Amino acid sequence: MAVIQELIRTEKDGTISFGDYSLEAKAKLDNFEYNGDLYKVKTFGEITKLERNGMFVYESVPGTSVMELSITEDGMTFTVEGNEDAEITLGLEEEKNYEISVDGAAVGQMKTNLGGKLTLSVELESGKAVRVAVKRA
């Protein structure tokens, strides 16, 4: 189980990891500084949410642990783990098409809404991490 005990941390490769789906009660951490931005994480068994400078970045229902999150101009990549299948919502650029892949397999193309949100479902099982890549088409 790869939960993030610190709730959020910077990895050696320059990415960030966050979330602890094993918690029974809500936990949060504000004002985590990374690359000049302030991050806020809320996490527990039912939900995991990440904000950057007060703006939405990531949310999963139920809660997950996210490792090696990398955000670029073209999208984001991360590895996610949880106890059960999760619905993940990402904050991206408004009304743009994105190519989605899960564990290297192309899932297809999706378009963000007016708010820049994109929602996808990921099949998860305890102890097995899944790599997700979302890239602007």
pLDDT value for 122: 96
- Dump pLDDT digits (tens) for 92-103: 999 999 999 999
Residue ranges of the alpha helices (H) in 1-89? Answer: none
Using pLDDT thresholds of 50, 70 and 90, give the confidence band for residue 126: confident
Burial string for 59-75 (b: 16+ CB within 10 Å, else e) reads bbebbbbbbbbebeeeb
Domain that holds residue 69: 8-136
pLDDT value for 129: 94
User: Does residue 61 lie within any of the structural domains?
Assistant: yes
**DSSP one-letter code for 65:** E
In total, the chain counts a number of residues equal to: 137
pLDDT value for 13: 95
Using pLDDT thresholds of 50, 70 and 90, give the confidence band for residue 5: confident
User: Does residue 43 lie within any of the structural domains?
Assistant: yes
User: Does residue 51 lie within any of the structural domains?
Assistant: yes
- Dump pLDDT digits (tens) for 112-123: 999 999 999 999
Q: What CATH number corresponds to the domain at position 104?
A: 2.60.40
Going 45 to 120 to 76 to 33, the CA torsion angle's sign is negative
Q: Give the whole-angstrom CA distance, residue 85 versus residue 15.
A: 24
Number of domains into which the chain is organized: 1
Give the chain's count of helices (H) and strands (E).
Answer: 0, 13
User: pTM of the prediction?
Assistant: 0.95
User: Does residue 2 lie within any of the structural domains?
Assistant: no
Using pLDDT thresholds of 50, 70 and 90, give the confidence band for residue 64: very high
User: Does residue 47 lie within any of the structural domains?
Assistant: yes
pLDDT value for 60: 98
Residue (of 122, 120, 125) closest to 110 by Cα position = 120
